[in-house]
């Protein structure tokens, strides 16, 4: 007796193999609902239809309608927000903008001074390594900050314009 696998047809022709993204054990999952189905389910739920009626109309399962109803209750949308990836931020965006504003005034601040500033302003302890990582992601460096600070120095700017005045423009 020949051994048949679930994804091989008896005639010897191969059917599409289940992929790891749409299988759980031996059970293959249904594809995601289309955007038009989400819109239809959303409108029918708001109109007050029962789960079974919505499922029959949208051509999906009642469990999908229950899940979408729960998503609408929790998130205000038919889809739940995606889960974030990567490391959690200890330095929030308002903290980073406050730190960058402070560094625009005092570009020669050391990391421990930045830690003290954030503790004083936001009452949270942020490690110096996280501050460095956040500044790097904001494309801030001490070298460029010094260059910008020099450009803001009125005496140096006047001296530069004085030196330029010796050159003739045609």
Structure tokens at 49: 């239809």
Q: What is the pLDDT of residue 18?
A: 53
Per DSSP bridges, beta strands 27-28 and 23-24 are antiparallel
Contacts within 8 Å (CB) and 24+ apart, 134-142: 134/89, 134/91, 134/96, 134/99, 135/99, 135/103, 138/96, 138/100, 140/100, 140/103, 142/107, 142/108
Q: Is the pLDDT of residue 170 over 90?
A: no
Instruction: State pLDDT tens for residues 96-134.
Output: 999 999 988 888 889 999 999 999 999 999 999 999 899
Structure tokens at 146: 């010094």
Is position 17 within any domain? no
- 30 or 32, higher pLDDT: 32
Is position 3 within any domain? no
72 burial type by CB count under 10 A (0-12 exposed, 13-18 middle, 19+ buried): middle
Percent of the chain whose pLDDT exceeds 90:
48
Is residue 104 located within the same domain as residue 149? Answer: yes
What is the rounded distance in angstroms from the CA atom of residue 2 to the CA atom of residue 164? 90
Is position 85 within any domain? no
Is position 130 within any domain? yes
Domain range for residue 67? 27-75
What is the rounded distance in angstroms from the CA atom of residue 149 to the CA atom of residue 102? 12
Side-chain-side CA neighbours of residue 22 (13 Å): 9
Is residue 105 located within the same domain as residue 159? Answer: yes
> φ and ψ at 88, to 5 degrees?
-70, 145
Instruction: State pLDDT tens for residues 53-92.
Output: 999 999 999 999 999 999 999 999 999 999 888 888 888 9
Percent of the chain whose pLDDT exceeds 70:
82
- State the pLDDT confidence band at 23, using cuts at 50, 70 and 90: low
Q: What is the pLDDT of residue 87?
A: 80
What is the rounded distance in angstroms from the CA atom of residue 83 to the CA atom of residue 147? 40
CATH of the domain at 51: 1.10.10
Task: Indicate the number of domains in the chain.
Answer: 2
Instruction: State pLDDT tens for residues 3-18.
Output: 444 444 444 444 445 5
């Amino acid at each position: 007796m020949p051994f048949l696998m679930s994804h091989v047809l008896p005639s010897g022709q191969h059917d599409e193999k289940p992929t790891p993204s749409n299988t759980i054990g031996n059970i293959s999952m249904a594809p995601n609902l289309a955007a038009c189905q989400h819109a239809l389910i959303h409108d029918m739920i708001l109109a007050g239809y029962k789960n079974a009626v919505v499922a029959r109309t949208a051509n999906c399962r009642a469990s999908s309608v229950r899940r979408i109803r729960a998503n609408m209750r929790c998130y205000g949308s038919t889809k739940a927000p995606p889960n974030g990836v990567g490391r959690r931020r200890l330095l929030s965006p308002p903290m980073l903008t406050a730190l960058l504003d402070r560094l625009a005034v005092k570009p020669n601040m050391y990391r421990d001074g930045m830690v003290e500033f954030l503790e004083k302003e936001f009452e949270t302890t942020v490690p110096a390594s996280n501050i460095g990582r956040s500044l790097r992601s904001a494309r801030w460096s001490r070298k460029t900050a010094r260059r910008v600070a020099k450009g803001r120095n009125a005496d140096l700017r006047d001296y530069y314009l004085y030196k330029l005045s010796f050159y003739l423009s045609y």
